[in-house]
């Protein structure tokens, strides 16, 4: 069996509380996969510090000193979870046959990684980690997530329900992915667009091992808006349809008012006038907001700014010859 070089990419943002345990579990996972002849002994862990304000980078540096398979990437500031993933994927691509991305909070089951690799050896280029159930989520988060997937499906966006960013990608998927240069990144929608042979591995999602979630309600809302507006123009079309509907209703109301005037039954109505003003005004503001969201994204895309900036890249002394070390 051919033994591929695997890199496990782990984005980190203020993960000091959990990172030591994460390093330990992922090292055990690499060792087990090596024993099972699934990966090469040259396989590594790549931790990407996304501008953390705690001791995350210090923990990463100590791990690099202690373990030859641990490498680290420090971004110059917080670029966001999706960009941190891309930084790790693009850095790992030149020396890896496949990459697995996983969050640092240990909610995704590291034991499923062996199953990912088995599917890779069966010829799959993309392996999605999919939750069996969402019992660890709150009632609100569970139901809003299901609503989000349904909305995205109705908008024509291909996504894998109950899949986050726990996945395996082969090198040829990564080679193709680098051709996607958009500023507004939504990996859960972008990866299925590539169209390579894919499959799913189901696992039970655990509670966060330590620390606090990095996706509060505000970030979840922004994430959902980015996902919708990055892959579909249906919201703008809906605004157009809504505008046409309002014009049609307005025409009928005007016709009714004209008939009442001719019949001599016209009565000035303050309430109906105020309600009409508020209704139409609210619709106009909503329409402007939706259109503005798309214009804002166009504005960002035209700048062509880099999605991330690497400040430091560190590897252990025993594996330095396999990496290009930078210190910007």
Q: Where are the domains of the chain?
A: 6-231+306-322, 234-303
C-alpha distance from residue 93 to each of 9, 63, 172, 182, 300 (Å): 11, 22, 9, 19, 26
CB 193 within 8 A of CB 158: yes
Mean pLDDT score of the chain:
80
Higher pLDDT, 258 or 198: 198
User: Residue 69 has what DSSP assignment?
Assistant: T
**pLDDT 10s digits, 53-76:** 999 999 999 999 999 999 999 999
- CA of 71: how far to CAs of 13, 121, 124, in Å? 16, 25, 26
What distance lies between CA 247 and its chain's CA centroid? 39
User: Strands 310-314 and 163-170: what pairing?
Assistant: unpaired
Kindly state the average pLDDT of the residues 138-163.
Answer: 70
Question: What residues pair up with 126 in beta bridges, in sequence order?
Answer: 169, 198
What's the pLDDT at 226?
Answer: 65
The residue among 288, 319, 327, 324 whose CA lies nearest residue 5 is: 319
- State the architecture of 6-231+306-322 in CATH terms: Alpha-Beta Complex (3.90)
CA distances, 151 to each of 145, 235, 245, 315 (Å): 10, 11, 22, 43
Which one-letter DSSP state was computed for residue 130?
E
What integer pLDDT is reported at residue 272 of this predicted model? 63
Two structure tokens written together for 270: 């303050």
Distance CA 124, CA 312 (A): 33
Residue 328 has pLDDT above 50, yes or no: no
Element (H, E) at 312: strand 310-314
- Helix, strand, or coil here: 106? coil
Question: How far is residue 158's CA from residue 268's CA, in Å, rounded to a whole number?
Answer: 52
Torsion of CA 43, 207, 60, 93, to 10 degrees: 40
Q: How far apart are the first and last CA of the chain?
A: 40
Distance CA 297, CA 287 (A): 16
**What is the residue whose two structure tokens read 């790549």?**
46
Question: Interhelix angle for 270-303 vs 234-263, to 10°?
Answer: 160
* Helix then strand then coil, % of the chain, to nearest 5: 55, 15, 30
Q: Read off the pLDDT of each residue in 38-46 and give the average, rounded to a whole number.
A: 94
Gap between the Cα atoms of 88 and 95, Å rounded: 12
Whole-prediction pTM: 0.72
Q: Is the pLDDT of residue 287 over 90?
A: no
State mean pLDDT over 120-134.
Answer: 90
- The mean-pLDDT minimum among 12-21, 45-54, 78-87, 285-294 falls in 285-294
How far apart are alpha carbons 6 and 167 in whole angstroms? 13
For 211-229, write each residue's pLDDT tens digit: 566 556 566 666 666 666 6
Q: Which residue has the higher pLDDT, 295 or 208?
A: 295
């Amino acid at each position: 069996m051919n033994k591929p070089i695997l890199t496990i990419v782990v984005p980190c943002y203020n993960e000091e509380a959990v990172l030591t345990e994460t390093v330990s579990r992922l090292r055990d996972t690499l060792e087990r996969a090596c024993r099972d002849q699934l990966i090469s002994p040259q396989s590594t862990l790549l931790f990407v510090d996304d501008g953390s304000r705690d001791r995350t980078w210090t923990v990463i540096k100590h791990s690099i000193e202690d373990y030859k398979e641990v490498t680290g990437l420090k971004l110059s500031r917080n670029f966001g979870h999706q960009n941190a993933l891309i930084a790790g994927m693009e850095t790992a691509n030149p020396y890896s046959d496949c990459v697995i991305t996983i969050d640092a909070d240990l909610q995704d089951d590291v034991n499923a990684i062996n199953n990912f690799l088995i599917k890779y050896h069966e010829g799959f280029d993309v392996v999605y980690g999919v939750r069996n159930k969402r019992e660890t989520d709150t009632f609100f988060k569970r139901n809003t997530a299901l609503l989000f997937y349904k909305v995205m499906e109705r908008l024509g966006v291909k996504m894998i329900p109950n899949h986050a960013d726990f996945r395996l990608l082969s090198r040829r998927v990564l080679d193709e992915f680098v051709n996607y240069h958009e500023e507004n990144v939504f990996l859960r929608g972008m990866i299925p667009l590539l169209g390579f042979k894919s499959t799913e591995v189901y696992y039970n999602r655990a509670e966060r091992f330590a620390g606090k979630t990095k996706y509060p309600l505000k970030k979840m809302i922004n994430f959902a808006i980015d996902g919708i507006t990055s892959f579909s123009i249906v919201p703008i079309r809906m605004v157009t349809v809504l505008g046409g509907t309002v014009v049609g209703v307005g025409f009928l109301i005007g016709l009714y008012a004209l008939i009442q005037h001719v019949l001599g039954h016209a009565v000035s109505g303050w309430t109906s006038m105020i309600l009409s003003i508020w209704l139409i005004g609210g619709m106009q503001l909503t329409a402007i907001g939706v259109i503005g969201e798309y214009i804002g994204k166009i504005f960002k895309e035209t700048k062509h700014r880099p999605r991330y900036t690497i400040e430091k890249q560190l590897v252990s002394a025993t594996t330095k010859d396999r990496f290009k070390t930078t210190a910007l």
